[in-house]
Amino acid sequence: MTEVRLETQGLSRHFGALVAVQGIDFKLAAGARHALIGPNGAGKTTFINLLTGVLPPTHGRVLLGGRDITSTAQAGRVKLGIARTFQINRLFRGLSVLENVCIAVTERAGAAGSMFYPAGRRGDLIAEAMELLRTLKLADAARHRVSELPYGRQRLVELAIAIALKPEVLLLDEPAAGVPSAESHIILDAIERLPEHIAVLIIEHDMDVVFRFAKRITVMVSGAVFAEGTPREIEANPQVREVYLGQAAQGAFHG
């Protein structure tokens, strides 16, 4: 197996009496295309929050490239190369698309604390942001206010901000959530074109997306890992079909 980028050991999170995440041992390989699936309330987003340092774990450790980052704060983990997107857009809604991406690029480049020259004078950072918008086919909207874009394209901006951080590990929390199915292909295309070296973990409900994209799948149920394997193994696992899909969604695996 290839090198492990991100790893958790016995990771748990309790909210009072509620155990949201329970003893998860998880490995994300370098350059992985890994999907995390599970019913609503399985603890997927909590797990992402533990990986990114939004929440401290109750027990367990998080390792990045073998280094223990459990006590590293959120901002520190971003600097080490973990970026994420959110299930519900968290954008700078009043700013233009270009400004949204520029804020991220500037922060990553370590220039965001500079006070005494105009941000517009950093041509290199703006060019980088424009280039990124071009690869995501957002260049034509660069000057538009984010809140004026259709939701599907706003989701692309959400993705662009994360990519602008040049992460080694990218955590995507339902990137196509809320996007009308007619537009969802633009998100999927963008995800498929992500640089190969980035290890991607995607939470997704749409099985088409999962099976098209993922080389490896982890199934979470009630805060714990229920099954893990290749798409073929997961598809063949009768327990997964039963627990995760129920009877109603029998056809979902094959669309």
Partner 1 sequence: MRRHRLRWWEALPWIAGIVFYFAFPDYLGFGCELLVTILFALSLDLALGYAGIITLGHAAFFGAGAYTVGMLASYNIWTEPITGLLLAALVAGAIGFLSGIVLLRTRGLTLLMLTLCIMALLEQAANMGAAYTGGFDGLPSLPIAPLFGVFDFSALYADTQYLFALAVLFVCFLFVRILVYSPFGQSLTGIRENVSRMHAIGSPVRRRLIVCYTISAALAGVAGGLLAQTTAYVNLAVLGLDRAATVLIVLILGGYGRLYGAFIGAVIYLALEHFLAQVYPTAWQLGLGLMLVVIALFARNGILGLAETLWRRYENRRGPS
Query: Which residue ranges make up the site for partner 1 (CB under 8 A)?
Result: 52, 54, 74-79, 83-84, 86, 90-95, 98-99, 102-104, 106-108, 111-122, 126, 161, 164-165
Q: Which residue number, 13 or 108, has a Cβ lying nearer to partner 1?
A: 108
CB of 148 to partner 1, least distance (A): 12
Type and span of the H or E element at 203 = strand 199-203
Q: Which residue number, 174 or 228, has a Cβ lying nearer to partner 1?
A: 174
Query: Which residues, 6+ apart, have CB-to-CB distance to 115 below 8 Å?
Result: none
Query: Which tokens is 191 given?
Result: 């995800």
Q: Answer for the pair 198, 167: CB distance below 8 angstroms, yes or no.
A: yes
Tell me the residue ranges of DSSP E strands in 30-86.
33-37, 59-64, 67-68, 82-84
Q: Which residue number, 98 or 240, has a Cβ lying nearer to partner 1?
A: 98
Q: Give the whole-angstrom CA distance, residue 19 versus residue 207.
A: 27
Q: Which residue number, 106 or 237, has a Cβ lying nearer to partner 1?
A: 106
| Long-range contacts of 152-155, Cβ-Cβ distance < 8 Å, separation of 24 or more | 152/179, 152/180, 152/183, 152/184, 152/186, 152/187, 153/183, 153/186, 154/89, 154/91, 155/89, 155/179, 155/187
CB of 224 to partner 1, least distance (A): 26
Query: Which tokens is 74 given?
Result: 């959120």
CB of 191 to partner 1, least distance (A): 18
Q: Which residue number, 27 or 166, has a Cβ lying nearer to partner 1?
A: 166
CB of 90 to partner 1, least distance (A): 4
Q: Which residue number, 115 or 248, has a Cβ lying nearer to partner 1?
A: 115
CB of 79 to partner 1, least distance (A): 5
CB of 47 to partner 1, least distance (A): 16
